[in-house]
Structure 1
Amino acid sequence: MRPAGGPDPCSPEGRPGEAGPPPFEVPDGYRVAGYRLGAFLGAGAWGSVHAAEGPDGTPAAVKLLGAARFSPGQRRTVAQMARSEQRFSRLADHPHLIRTLTVVTVEDPDHPALDGAVALVMERADRSLHDVLADARPGTAVPGAERILTEVCAGLTHMHRAGWVHGDLKPANILLMSDGTAKIADFGLTAELEGTHAYAPPLGSPDHVPPEWWSQRTGARGVAVRPSADVWAFGVLTHQLLTGGLHPFVGATARARSLAAQAYARGAAPLRPDEALPGRWRPVVGACLAAGREERARVDLTALVARATAAPARRRRTAVRAGAGLLGCALAVLALTGGPEPAAPGAHRAPPPLPGAIPAGSDVPVAYRGMIDVAARRCPEPEVTPALLAAMLKAESGFDPNAARPETGEYGIAMWTPAVFGAWAKAAAHPGPTSYLDPGDAIAAMGNYVCWLDQQLKRAGLTRDLPALVTAAYRTSDKTVEAAGRVPERVRPHVDKVLRYLSDYGG
């Protein structure tokens, strides 16, 4: 199958394409500010973190920000980030913010790579939320998610009230201590407010920056950052923790997800939280992911989170007070009305049918309808409907999970080539190994890829006849369709077949 393209490369931090340096090579037993450095724990775009022990055996972590291996412009950025961490660490004092114990500049001419590096000695955590989400089951909240969100909210609110913006809130920067306490970390992009905004280097994590971040200009002092950006990131984080790592905007890459968020912010697509997100947390996510930063600036994060976490307690208290009398009332209502009462506002309901839903009497196998519906629901683009995915599957394989074209290396219900499937299989709805021959995995990956194709074609200015163009791109590639500016003639018969099936399904 098809594409010459695939997920676009995007660095863990910063704008797409920026790559970080390799971790420092630290000699065994190396000491910084009296702390003995040990195992390498991880690296970001600008430095690396090592386990350490103090003179009395107290565990710590040391972040090394190097200057020698950067360009002059990068050195200025590193110096600014180090000053920010150092300045904030002197002022921050909150149980849900990682404490910086000391900040020193390494002076060691015998080790040129380390000489001049800024070392921040901090509290050591057991793991990060990034690690937790890597082990999470999609569709299932991570253990202790609500407590973690409450603690992160407390730390973030403290920062905002003290006049600071974090600027890079994401799972990797939420650390879990040995007792499970959550603490916000990494204050390299933290900036002090000057009125309504602050200035920071033009860096950030694409999955957690707000839509307006992508269009901001960089001035002499950096880019303007606001608390509303942290509120957006908290909304993404909330969705991820309560759905087992699922991002609220669908895409196979961070760039694709950011394009989906930008489409939503323009009003071109609705916000579609995953079905797994609990109903009482939907107002939190909806408010935090408001399209306009002015609307986000008015969000009372503490009040929103308090209402969400108090809801179960209220229900339990109500149930205890009502006791057997409530059961008697319920039976009486059933006897009088012949059925249950309507669900209370905010109660969990089945999601409404999507536009372009598969008709009940169609030839789409019942076993695959739910898979197709979920795959379409996870895409914010209105053209990607269950009916379109079903029509494409019918044209590709006739819904046969054992279909094969050995001459082209295409297999399964969605006719994946094994190598290409691997790039898009992150859409699979379960953890562990995935297979292009498994209908669930194949359909989930197909929805992910088709959504990305739709976004790429729109980005290229192709906005008419998108079902036909997306179908053609699935058979060839987005670049092929973009170059032609229309459906290439060699795949026109296949595209016409898909469009006939789409018409049959009411699309």
Structure 2
Amino acid sequence: MTRRARDAGRPDARPPFELPDGYRLAGYRTGAFLGAGAWGSVYAAEGPDGTPAAVKLLGPACSSPGQRRTLAQMAAGELRFSRRADHPHLIRTLAVLTVDDPGHPELDGAVALVMERAARSLQDLLATARPGTALPGAERILAEVCAGLVHMHRSGWVHGDLKPANILLMPDGTAKIADFGLAAELEGTHAYAPPLGSPDHVPPEWWSQRTGARGVAVRPSADVWAFGVITHQLLTGGLHPFLGATARARSLAAQAYARGAAPLRPDQALPSRWRPVVAACLAADRDERARTDVAALVARATARPAGRRRAVRAGVGLLAGAAVLLALTGGPEPVGSAPHRARPLPGAIPAGSDVPTAYRGMIEDAARRCPEPEITPILLAAMLKAESGFDPNAARPETGEYGIAMWTPAVFDAWAKAANHPGPKSYLDPGDAIAAMGNYVCWLDQQLKRRGYTRDLPALVTAAYRTSDKTVAAAGGVPDRVRPHVDKVLRYLAEYGG
């Protein structure tokens, strides 16, 4: 197959430079490597009294003098912010220093920040989420993030890069906002920061702002927008409120909404009491967002009427009694209230079909992540059946295609970022292969629509998966050489009810 590798690449999980085990910085002894990002790497550390900490090394040390000055200024700003805006839901920066060690030239000159150590990030938690199901503890996490964010704003600061990767969960589960490298102090209604940010979490106006000598103007309303996106993600199992196959597609959808060209469509899995929170935080007008009392909205969403609280207490007592009874009778233990789940997807897989039960949830999750109505579970199931007969060990060595979705390894790497768990991914793993397939066919559907195609999209997407969107456009429809394969998929689709 000739699927082209677009939007390829994943962040490198290896450290940009090795920190010797037991290396000491500001009295802290460093340990295991925890992760790497755009600015450097993070290591575990312990204080003189055994207090756990984390060391973030900004660099690498071979940066230019100008880059080093910028990093040093950002680190100093992070320390200044931490001291002036201390709060239980903001990660504390304990020390900042510049490494002075000519004996280790790869470290000499790097900027080091010593911080509180967390157990994991909210991004890690989202990576394990199932679409349509709220994350465990989502409401508590949102309330804690809101408290930290409101404190920042009332202290006169804007975070500027609020996203799941910058929300950390401590060993006891407490949520804390982190990474204040782009945090800026307000000068009236706005502050200035470098033109950086996560495309999935910046507001629509960010894309049209001009960069001046001091950077771009940032406002608390940008953090409010990001909080709205995160709220939607936590309560819907990682679904973005503006869905698309790529971050660029999602940002374009958000911009279209801000222009009034499209309505805001929260996912049906978003609980009704949280819809006013998301709607207010994602107001298209930044001035309207600036007037939003996020704390009050979150308090209303998490509040329970007195009668409900009494019912809950009574319910807890009944559950406790039921647990004792079931334990004595050997029955299953109660597991609490069922998580909120979305209504059945359009094009759901029929119960009596030949789609293996083990793959149905994977297929439905992949379809749910795509906003295009043509990309249904039964279309993906029909494509998988035609590609491999649902055989995870299928192979076509002559064309270099393998696995349940018949991926070529190089192209799989470009689209595997859709998989729902962190770490290495394999085209032979059905979960990874199906998630990547859903991401890719969603993108193909969007590309074909941009080319003006509005009819026969299941057939055209199937043909593009076997060739490419450009090949389909050049042929003016399904190319003759893949017509038998497309007809097979359409036959399976009809059998599944499509």
TM-score norm. by structure 1 comes to: 0.73
Distance 2:390 2:140 in 1: 43
In structure 1, the partner of 2:157 is 164
Deviation at 1:444, TM superposition (A): 6.3
In structure 1, the partner of 2:283 is 290
Deviation larger for 33-42 or 484-493: 484-493
Percent of residue pairs bearing the same amino acid type: 72
Q: SS of 1:52's equivalent?
A: strand
Q: How many residues align?
A: 464
Shift in CA distance, 422/248, structure 1 to aligned 2, threshold 3 Å: farther
Distance 2:21 2:342 in 1: 58
Instruction: State yes or no: 1:476 paired with 2:467.
Output: yes
Q: SS of 2:162's equivalent?
A: coil
In structure 2, the partner of 1:186 is 179
In structure 1, the partner of 2:452 is 463
In structure 2, the partner of 1:234 is 227
1:213-232 map, 5 Å: 213-232=206-225
Q: Amino acid of the residue matched to residue 39 of structure 1?
A: A
Q: Amino acid of the residue matched to residue 5 of structure 2?
A: G
Shift in CA distance, 353/110, structure 1 to aligned 2, threshold 3 Å: closer
What runs of 5+ residues in structure 1 fail to find an aligned partner?
A: 12-18, 322-347
8 Å contact from structure 2 (residues 74, 182) kept in 1:
yes
8 Å contact from structure 2 (residues 160, 218) kept in 1:
yes
Deviation at 1:415, TM superposition (A): 6.2
What runs of 5+ residues in structure 2 fail to find an aligned partner?
A: 315-339
Aligned-residue CA RMSD in angstroms? 4.6
Shift in CA distance, 317/200, structure 1 to aligned 2, threshold 3 Å: same
Aligned equivalent of 2:40, options 47, 67, 70: 47
In structure 1, the partner of 2:439 is 448
Q: SS of 1:209's equivalent?
A: coil
Q: Amino acid of the residue matched to residue 235 of structure 1?
A: G
Distance 2:129 2:345 in 1: 28
Deviation at 1:43, TM superposition (A): 2.0
Deviation at 1:428, TM superposition (A): 7.1
8 Å contact from structure 1 (residues 372, 390) kept in 2:
no
Distance 1:109 1:284 in 2: 53
Instruction: State yes or no: 1:8 paired with 2:8.
Output: yes
Shift in CA distance, 313/444, structure 1 to aligned 2, threshold 3 Å: farther
Deviation at 1:307, TM superposition (A): 1.2
Deviation larger for 242-251 or 394-403: 394-403
Deviation larger for 94-103 or 208-217: 208-217
Deviation at 1:306, TM superposition (A): 0.8
Distance 1:174 1:480 in 2: 43
Deviation at 1:104, TM superposition (A): 2.4
Distance 1:209 1:5 in 2: 26
8 Å contact from structure 2 (residues 367, 380) kept in 1:
no
Deviation larger for 463-472 or 211-220: 463-472
Distance 1:316 1:39 in 2: 45
Instruction: State yes or no: 1:258 paired with 2:225.
Output: no
8 Å contact from structure 1 (residues 138, 430) kept in 2:
no
1:48-67 map, 5 Å: 48-66=41-59
Q: SS of 1:189's equivalent?
A: coil
Deviation at 1:469, TM superposition (A): 5.6
Shift in CA distance, 229/120, structure 1 to aligned 2, threshold 3 Å: same
Distance 2:444 2:285 in 1: 26
Shift in CA distance, 71/316, structure 1 to aligned 2, threshold 3 Å: same
8 Å contact from structure 1 (residues 104, 119) kept in 2:
yes
CA deviations 1:129-173 (Å, max 9, x no partner) are 233333444443333221111111000011111221111112222
Q: Amino acid of the residue matched to residue 439 of structure 2?
A: N
Distance 2:114 2:486 in 1: 63
CA deviations 1:250-309 (Å, max 9, x no partner) are 345444443444444445555444444333223322332334433332322111111111
In structure 2, the partner of 1:336 is none
